[in-house]
Amino acid sequence: MSLINLLACLAYGMVGVLAIGAGSAALASDRNRAHLVTWLICALVFALMIASRTLGWEEAAREALRAGLAENDFVNRRQYLQKPLVAVAIMAGAVILWVGWAYANSARSRPSDLYIRLVQLLMGLLVPLFALRIISLHAFDRLLYGGSIRLNWVLDGGITIAAGALAALYIVRQRQRINDRIRPS
């Protein structure tokens, strides 16, 4: 396993632990059960990301796509299939971002609701990111993986860091709520 994969797995693991902590905080503070479910799904998503990195699921999916293209004699014409798939993945990401941002901004009443909606948005953005990495169109690969700072790392790392920060903020917020209820007036 490369150093980058190891660091990514460690970051995913830390986010998973924070998400479990946030789920525990949601349970302890009597928050909506949807908060608990969201944090448990977040922990599961990041656990699956660890599994994907360590077991090579993403590479296997990419190879299966290439084998399917070769089997159906699309090898030389694969760009005709990949270009629309890349366009759909990019549009899906844009729609998820737009709808998710509008949904997140509708939660102005409580910070904890905003944290939940933002982490749901981040998990939604992982879908088109993984789709783009699996589709593997050469021109788009240069954008994702080229250069000294790779867009793939920025997106993956940014989503991971943001999800971890939201989980940590959620834990702090819920502990404050619990302490405010316990503290005598």
pLDDT value for 137: 58
List the one residue out of 10, 16, 8, 12 whose CA is nearest residue 41: 16
Quote the domain boundaries for residue 106. Answer: 3-182
Dihedral sign of CA atoms 59, 80, 153, 104 in order: negative
Q: What does the block give as tokens for 171?
A: 């834990």
pLDDT value for 41: 95
Q: How many domains does the chain have?
A: 1
- Reading the chain (185 residues) residue by residue, the pLDDT tens digits are 788 889 999 999 999 999 999 999 998 877 678 899 999 999 999 999 999 989 988 888 878 877 777 777 666 666 666 667 777 777 887 888 788 777 777 756 678 888 898 899 899 888 888 887 777 655 556 666 666 667 778 888 999 999 999 999 999 998 888 777 776 65
